[in-house]
């Protein structure tokens, strides 16, 4: 394995475990069949490559693990296409200390054949890695959506929930038991929601969006006076938008069909 | 089992399965060792009992399953104490069709000895029922917090997340796999958060609240232009409040120590 870092001593630290330290980015770019880059921002990836060579990069295969937005992935793909670079965009779904283990996961987007060519190497770096789609924005989009919009939001919602029961003297064991139960119901409902989205069928004979919208407003009222309840208030607004868009008689997953609304414009469905 | 309903034919329907239909609420109140009441609102429970008898209710044990706020549970306890009624307050954590099965769960709050006396009957109605604490507001508080602030908020967050990846052509299988992974990480982090709350120790050598606050802002930026992202925006605000309150170097669970803020007043910690 060939390594290079803008701060030379960081690369040299890897010589001890057998990495061949390269003297420049240009040398690193031609030292291996797959070049993996991970810097601060997507803009830096482009600068680095353009500084390293004024020639086209024919034959260079690049896997970019730099954090970014979906647009960053798509922009760098456009640049790569114009510069003869075969390009995969990745999002790292792991803590640094997990890398090299089976638990670590890197999401990879771009040409699937290119991914399969380098799959073995990628799995060595992160054993639970996955190919997620041909759109070069897909890895960052999933990261933003699942890690950001879902995971962090849910964790914050849970912490808000725990804050609210604090004054009622509920024991740790009871809360832990009920929390596990809530998560298992959530897991089940998420699977049902994904199936409905895949079938594009949001009919239900169980709780409708109207029922959820009423319930969440009642729950929010029950929490009043115990802090700002920002998460449940946001959920109330989303469900109200969905009801206003005419989805009230459908399953809650129908909210997935709400489309982006411009400022001042109300949400609409497809 | 003795039954009574304000709409007589609803009670009569239960005669077919062996219930003794009572002619009035007053008769129902004296027909069994535990009286279970489930009507539209807590106010109705009080009216019903006051209409049924102008005498004190010495010896009456009441389990109230009517939906309400934590304050409703406490208010009815005060009324019950003044009227010689032994009182348990409950929240139903089940769909109607689950009742009578092991899957159904009723949360019961109030005097623990009174709960133990009637536990067997309650478990027959809902096999996963639990005693949650002595505070008569606890059952409704847990329902508002876990079902409302956590469960519905998380489900809405997930639907918002799925909406965002829609345009990237990610397959159902990939999304399903990654969603299950996200839930398992969430479950694990929720347990860690509860343990930290129980120990009141929010030190961490992993991601701090500062890291989460920065990450969620980056993810929110990655979702920009793809809809209102109300849930992740709310999470961003909660984490910013926690950072502003000086919790940035602690674990994300430290946000549980944020205390209610009056309108216009910024959040403060204990």
Is residue A55 domain-resident? yes
Judge whether A146 lies within some domain.
Answer: no
Residue B243 lies in a domain: yes
Q: What is the pLDDT of residue B174?
A: 95
Residue B144 at interface with chain A, using a CB cutoff of 8 Å? yes
Question: What is the spatial distance between Cα A33 and Cα A242, in angstroms, rounded to a whole number?
Answer: 49
Q: Where is the domain boundary, B94, B114, B140? A: B140
Residue B133 included in any domain: yes
A210/A255 same-domain check: yes
For residues A161 and A251, state if they share a domain.
yes
- Taking 70 as the pLDDT cut, the residues of chain A under it are 260-270
Question: Would residue A92 count as lying in a domain?
Answer: yes
Whether residues B113 and B172 fall in one domain: no
Count of domains forming chain A:
2
Domain that holds residue B241: 155-269
Interface contact flag, A181 B157, Cβ < 8 Å: no
Residue A110 included in any domain: yes
pLDDT at B53 over 80: no
Q: Which of B70, B170, B229 is closest, CB to CB, to A133? A: B170
Which of A194, A151, A72 has the alpha carbon at shortest distance from B216?
Answer: A151
Q: Find chain B residues with C-beta within 8 A of A95's C-beta.
A: 206-207
What torsion do the CA atoms of B38, B44, B46, B49 make, to the nearest 10 degrees?
-70
What is the CATH classification number for the domain harbouring A45?
3.40.50.720
Q: Which of residues 238-257 of B touch A (CB under 8 A)?
A: 238-239, 241, 252-253, 255-257
Q: Are residues A133 and A162 in the same domain?
A: no
Across B86-95, B96-105, B244-253, which has the greatest mean pLDDT? B244-253
ipTM of the complex: 0.90
E runs forming strands in B111-199: 130-133
**A116 lies in the same domain as A168:** no
Mean pLDDT for B181-199 is: 95
Q: State which of B140, B165, B180 marks the end of a domain.
A: B140
- Cβ distance B223 to A144 less than 8 Å, yes or no, reads yes
Given B117, B140, B163, the domain boundary residue is B140
Q: A264 and A157 in one domain?
A: yes
Same domain (yes/no): A119, A207? no
A197 — contact with chain B (CB < 8 Å)?
yes
| Residue B145 and residue B133 in contact, taking contact as beta carbons nearer than 8 Å | no
Residues A165 and A263 reside in one and the same domain: yes
* Judgement on whether residues B95 and B167 belong to the same structural domain of the protein: no
CATH number at residue B211: 1.10.1040.10
pLDDT of amino acid B263: 43
Residue B51 has pLDDT above 70, yes or no: yes
Which residues in chain A have their CB less than 8 angstroms from residue B199's CB? none
Instruction: Based on the fold, state whether residues A77 and A39 are members of the same structural domain.
Output: yes
Claim to verify: residue A126 and residue A193 sit in the same structural domain? no
Give the residue among B139, B14, B40, B137 at the shortest CA–CA distance from A225.
Answer: B137
- A6 lies in some domain: no
Given this model, what pLDDT does residue A266 score?
Answer: 42
pLDDT at position B260 = 58
Radius of gyration of chain A (CA): 23
Residue B54 has pLDDT above 80, yes or no: no
**What was the pLDDT predicted at B264?**
42
Provide the pLDDT for residue A53: 76
User: Going by C-beta distance under 8 Å and a sequence separation of 6 or more, which residues neighbour residue B265?
Assistant: none
B217 touches chain A (CB under 8 A): no
Which residues in chain B have Cβ-Cβ distances shorter than 8 Å to A252? Answer: 155-156, 159
Confirm whether B149 is domain-assigned: no
Cα separation, B182 vs A190, in Å, equals 11
Q: Are residues A164 and A231 in the same domain?
A: yes
Nearest by CB to residue A156, choosing from B130, B171, B238, is: B238
């Amino acid at each position: 394995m060939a390594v290079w870092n803008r701060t030379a001593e960081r690369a040299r630290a890897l010589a001890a475990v057998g990495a061949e330290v390269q003297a420049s980015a240009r040398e690193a770019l031609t030292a291996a069949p797959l070049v993996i880059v991970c810097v601060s921002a997507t803009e830096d990836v482009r600068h680095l490559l353009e500084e390293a060579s004024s020639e086209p990069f024919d034959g260079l295969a690049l896997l970019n693990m730099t954090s970014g937005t979906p647009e960053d992935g798509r922009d760098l793909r456009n640049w790569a296409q114009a510069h003869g670079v075969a390009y995969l965009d990745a999002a790292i779904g792991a803590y640094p200390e997990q890398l090299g283990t089976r638990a670590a996961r890197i999401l990879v987007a771009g040409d699937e054949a290119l991914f399969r060519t380098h799959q073995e190497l990628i799995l060595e770096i992160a054993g639970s890695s996955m190919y997620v789609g041909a759109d070069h924005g897909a890895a960052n989009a999933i990261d933003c959506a699942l890690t950001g919009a879902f995971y962090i939001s849910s964790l914050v919602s849970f912490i808000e929930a725990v804050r609210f029961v604090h004054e009622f003297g509920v024991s740790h064991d009871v809360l832990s038991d009920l929390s596990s139960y809530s998560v298992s119901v959530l897991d089940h409902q998420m699977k049902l929601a994904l199936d409905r989205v895949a079938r594009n069928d949001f009919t239900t004979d169980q709780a409708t969006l109207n029922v959820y919208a009423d319930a969440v407003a009642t729950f929010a009222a029950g929490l009043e006076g115990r802090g700002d309840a920002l998460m449940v208030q946001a959920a109330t607004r989303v469900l109200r938008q969905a009801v206003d868009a005419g989805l009230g008689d459908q399953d809650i997953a129908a909210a997935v069909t709400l489309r982006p609304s411009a400022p001042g414009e109300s949400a609409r469905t497809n």
